[in-house]
Each structure stands twice: as structure tokens, then as C-alpha cells.
Amino acid sequence: MLKESVEGTLSANEEAALELNRIMVELNTISGRTITLQKDIETGRGKNTQSIAKQISESISKIKTRLDAVPTQNADKHTLALVKNLRQTIILNEQEIKKLHSVIKQKNQTIEEKEQKISNLDNELSETNTQLNQALGKIKKTENDNWIRMGDELVATAELFPNVKGHGNMKWAKKAKLTILLRAKAAYTQAYKLGSTDAVSKIKKVDDKYNEVNNR
């Protein structure tokens, strides 16, 4: 009976030792992952750092649960000391990953703030460009209207001259009228270059009028 009890105790201790060794190996792996994560955060080269930190936290939590389940009632001093060291290691890992969670959160917040600033600047730039285009459009329209108005006034002025054949004393009148019509065409041409849709028909009318006067 005593022999069976001893054998049972040894078996339990051996199983506990195996589990503790497995836990120790996994904690070493977690420590390595944590160090890598810390470097990635510092350099900014790592991706999905928040997700990785969460995975590490979950792994630590599972290991902690497994360590709590290891029987220590009949454990020897070496096993008890190992359990104690593992608990301290888990606490240190928890503290480190908690710190990294905070750093990641702060970095993400900084990134979000920068992205928001960039977005605001883009919006301001877009609004400025819109206002600039509107202002340029108004300037262009005003300039266009001025050229059309000038052309109309020149045509009206040309009409004040009498329709003559340009012989004798009235030759100057024909020449002046033709000159004014050419200036009117030049004004309409400037309006056309600015995109005026009315300028084309006005240029044609001036050409027709010029040819009519010139052929007299």
C-alpha cells in the first residue's frame, strides 16, 4: 500500500516536472517574441503589432492557468522553487506586454493624429484650390466680357462712318472704318482664346462686314 502511494506520488511529481519544463520552454519563446515585438515597435518596421501583442497576452494567460493547475502539494523544494520562478517570470512578461500595449496605443494615436492633420490639410488645400479656380474663372469671365464689349463698341463706332467707295475726299473714311473693324476682330479673337462661345459668330460678322466695306 505504501509502495503504491510512493509510486503514485513519484508519477505525479514527474508529470508536474514535465509540465513545468514545457511551460518554461513556452515562456522562453514568449520572451523572444516579446523582445522582437519591442524592436519592431521601436523601429516602426513591424506590422500588426497590436494583434501580435494581443496574441502574446493570450498565450501568457493560458500558461498562467496551466501553471496554476500544476499540483504542488507533494512537490519537493526544487519543484516549488521552479514554480515560484515561473510565476515571477509570468508577472514580468505580463508587465512587459502591458507596457508594450500602452506604447502601441500611444503610437497608433499619434499616427491617427498625424493622419487627421494630413486629412485636414488636404481638405484645406482642396478648398483653397476650389476658391482659386472660382476666382480665376471670374477673372477670366470678366476679361472675356471686356474683350467682347470692346469689340462691340468698335463695331458700333465703325457703323458711324458713312458707307463710301473710298474715292476722293472720302477715302480716309473707308480706311478708318476698315481699321476699326480689324481692331474689333482682334478683340473678338482675344475673347475666343479665352473660351468665349459668342466670339466665333462675332468674328464671322466682322469679317463679312470688312469684306463688304473693302469691296466697295
pLDDT digits (tens, 9 = 90+) for 46-92: 678 889 999 999 999 999 999 999 988 878 888 899 999 999 999 99
CATH number, domain 2-124, options 1.20.58.120, 2.40.40.20, 1.20.120.420, 1.10.3720.10: 1.20.58.120
User: What tens digit of pLDDT does each residue of 117-135 get?
Assistant: 999 999 999 999 999 999 9
Residues 80/17, Cβ–Cβ less than 8 Å? no
Could you report the per-residue pLDDT of 18-50, keeping only the tens digit for each? 999 999 999 999 999 999 999 988 887 767 888
DSSP state of 195: T
User: 97: pLDDT confidence band, cut at 50, 70 and 90?
Assistant: very high
Confidence band, pLDDT 50/70/90 cuts, at residue 10? low
Predicted pLDDT of residue 7: 47
Mean predicted confidence (pLDDT) in 148-152: 94
Vertex 26, ends 78 and 96: CA angle to 5°? 95
Cα distances (Å, whole numbers) of residue 106 to 100, 102, 117: 10, 6, 16
